[in-house]
Amino acid sequence: MIFVTGGAGFIGSNFVLDWLAQSDEPVLNLDKLTYAGNLHNLAGLSGDARHHFVQGDIGDSDLLAALLRDHRPRAILNFAAESHVDRSIHGPEDFIQTNIVGTFRLLEAVRAYWNQLEGKAKTDFRFLHVSTDEVYGSLAKDDPAFAETHRYEPNSPYSASKAASDHLVRAYHHTYGLPVLTTNCSNNYGPYHFPEKLIPLMIVNALAGKPLPVYGDGQQIRDWLYVQDHCSAIRRVLEAGQLGETYNIGGWNEKPNIEIVQTVCALLDALRPRADGNSYREQITYLSDRPGHDRRYAIDAGKIERELGWKPAETFETGIRKTVQWYLNNPAWVEGVQSGAYRDWVQTNYAGRAQ
Ligand code: NAD
Ligand code: DAU
């Protein structure tokens, strides 16, 4: 079996669903179920014996040792993290605990487990660490896209904590020979994306008649990848990646934020027009900027394409249409994640920003 951490979050749950749609190899899924973890994402697997869910923390060494001993996975995929940049600005502590200390504890538990494996089980074992392009910092307008050789220049508590975890993973390979793989991916979007992040926030706010909050001038650039393409890239790296290597994953889809928001509005105008006949664009509101806001990310996904033959299946146009349609088709999921804690966060992040 494979052992997935953070498999009730946005990307992790998409990964688990895709994995079990394509393979009968069971999944052990360890997730703390923070505000971002949601078992409703995995409702389609209810009663499926191939999915074994455990609520727990990647920082819990005893739990990790017991799970590894009892389930004897052939690979670990580490998705578990605190993932939202704005939350890391308001409260960095959880990011240090999970992304750095948690990854360290996981590496220690896996090292002890891997050390006692023998023969093919030991040589075939893999630890795949899921990371982000944000570790590379920010690009100027005409800079080349991030290659794997780009220096690490993280700018937020979130990206600094992910950078630290990447360094630990690298060090466990270099020092102990642990068979690791690291992926650094650009911005994902798609089903089950928690509506604190740009694209789902814009969809749910638009439908609720609320302002569409754009930070600063809206000209920051992100490089967008449909989540199932990220999942297929991870499967490919797990299958064929070279030990100790890192692979950048991206969709060659650089877009300024304001263009993303306008695209979401145009799709909603067509698919679910406002009752008054006006465009959702009227709801766009410019707010004061995110502190330390990275101006541009762009991924050079040439290595994974050349060496592993991976390419995204979706264009931005097909992926964003599917995404908007998914949110329109799943109002119960949206309502379910908008708990009291969610409303508190919206108040914390947006109430103090100047228009
Ligand atoms: P998410 O916030 O939606 O999900 C994170 C999951 O991890 C949640 O289910 C949460 O409950 C769980 N978790 C948090 N702390 C934990 C802990 N201590 N122990 C066990 N589980 C814990 O995040 P996501 O967007 O799905 O991101 C998944 C991974 O991919 C992260 O490592 C993130 O850095 C990386 N990544 C995300 C993106 C993106 O655009 N979302 C892009 C590149 C890389
Ligand atoms: O690049 C990969 C990263 O992408 C991942 O590592 C992170 O886990 C993931 O959250 C994402 O980080 P971003 O900060 O790029 O994503 P977010 O959706 O928060 O913001 C995208 C852009 O939109 C960013 O420039 C900030 C802007 N934004 C965001 C929000 C929430 C707004 O203008 N208004 C908003 O309300």
The residues spanned by each domain of the chain are: 2-187+226-252+296-314
Looking up tokens 């030990």 gives 243
Which residue from 4, 11, 14 has its CB within 8 A of the most atoms of ligand 1, so it is best to mutate? 11
- Residue 306 vs residues 248, 300, 310: alpha-carbon distances, Å: 12, 11, 8
Distance CA 96, CA 34 (A): 15
Q: Which residue has the tokens 């027009």?
A: 273
pTM for this one? 0.98
CA 230–ligand 1 middle distance (angstroms): 13
Determine which one of 113, 136, 158, 226 is catalytic.
158
**d(Cα 5, Cα 237) in Å, to the nearest integer?**
17
Smallest CA-to-CA distance from 237 within 305, 171, 174, 173 is with 305
- Residue 233 CA to residue 69 CA, distance in Å, equals 29
Distance CA 319, CA 19 (A): 19
How much distance in Å is there from the Cα of 167 to the middle of ligand 2?
23
Q: How far apart are CA 109 and CA 161, in angstroms?
A: 20
Query: Cα–Cα distance between 199 and 167 in angstroms, integer?
Result: 30
Which of 193, 221, 223, 232 lies closest to 312 in space, CA to CA?
A: 232
Q: Which ligand is nearest to the CA of 6?
A: 1
**Residue with CA nearest ligand 2 atom 2:** 187
CA of 142 to the centre of ligand 2 (A): 21
Q: Using alpha carbons only, what angle is made at residue 208 by residues 207 and 213, rounded to the nearest 5 degrees?
A: 90
Catalytic residue (one of 31, 134, 223, 294): 134
Q: Of 135, 155, 198, 215, which is best to mutate to test ligand 2, by the most ligand atoms within 8 angstroms of its C-beta?
A: 198
CB of 58 within 6 A of ligand 1: the answer is: yes
Q: Look at residue 352 in the predicted model and tell me its pLDDT.
A: 84
Please state, in angstroms and rounded to a whole number, the distance separating the CA atoms of residues 102 and 265. Answer: 39
Contact 30, 5 (CB under 8 A): yes
DSSP 3-state of 246: strand
For residue 42, how far is the Cα from the chain centroid?
16
10-residue stretch averages of pLDDT, the chain, 355 residues long = 98 98 98 97 96 98 98 98 98 98 99 98 98 98 98 98 99 98 98 98 98 98 98 98 98 97 98 98 98 98 98 98 98 93 91 87
Q: Give yes or no for a contact between 76 and 15, defined as CB atoms under 8 angstroms apart.
A: no
User: Which amino acid type is present at position 295?
Assistant: R
Residue 162 CA, ligand 1 centroid: distance in Å: 11
Helix axes 198-207, 316-329, angle to 10 degrees: 50
- Which helix (H) or strand (E) is 17 found in, with range? helix 10-22
**Neighbour-count burial of 351, counting CB atoms closer than 10 A to its CB (0-12 exposed, 13-18 middle, 19+ buried):** exposed
In angstroms and rounded to an integer, the radius of gyration of the C-alpha atoms of the chain is 20
Beta-carbon contacts of 91 under 8 Å, excluding residues fewer than 6 positions away, are none
Q: How far is CA 251 from CA 193, 227, 236, 266, 316, in A?
A: 18, 10, 15, 22, 8
Determine which residue's CA is closest to atom 11 belonging to ligand 2. 187
**Contact (Cβ atoms closer than 8 angstroms) between residue 216 and residue 290:** yes
Which residue, by CA, sits nearest to atom 30 of ligand 2?
A: 198
User: How far away, in angstroms, is 27 Cα from ligand 1 center?
Assistant: 17
Question: Considering every ligand atom, which ligand is closest to the CA of 77?
Answer: 1
Per the annotation, the verdict on 217 as an active-site residue is no
- For residue 37 and ligand 1, the question of a CB distance below 6 A is answered with yes
Question: Is there a catalytic annotation at residue 192?
Answer: no
- Is 48 designated active site? no
Catalytic, out of 31, 57, 82, 133: 133
Tell me how far apart the alpha carbons of residues 136 and 149 are, in angstroms, rounded to a whole number.
10
Bridge-based pairing of strands 75-78 and 2-5 is: parallel
Mutation test residue for ligand 1: of 79, 135, 187, the one with most atoms within 8 Å of CB: 79
Select from 3.40.50.720, 3.40.190.10, 3.30.70.1450, 1.10.1660.10 the CATH code of 2-187+226-252+296-314: 3.40.50.720
5 touches 32 (CB < 8 A): no
Does 185 sit in the ligand 1 pocket, CB within 6 Å?
A: yes
What is the rounded distance in angstroms from the CA atom of residue 194 to the CA atom of residue 35? 9
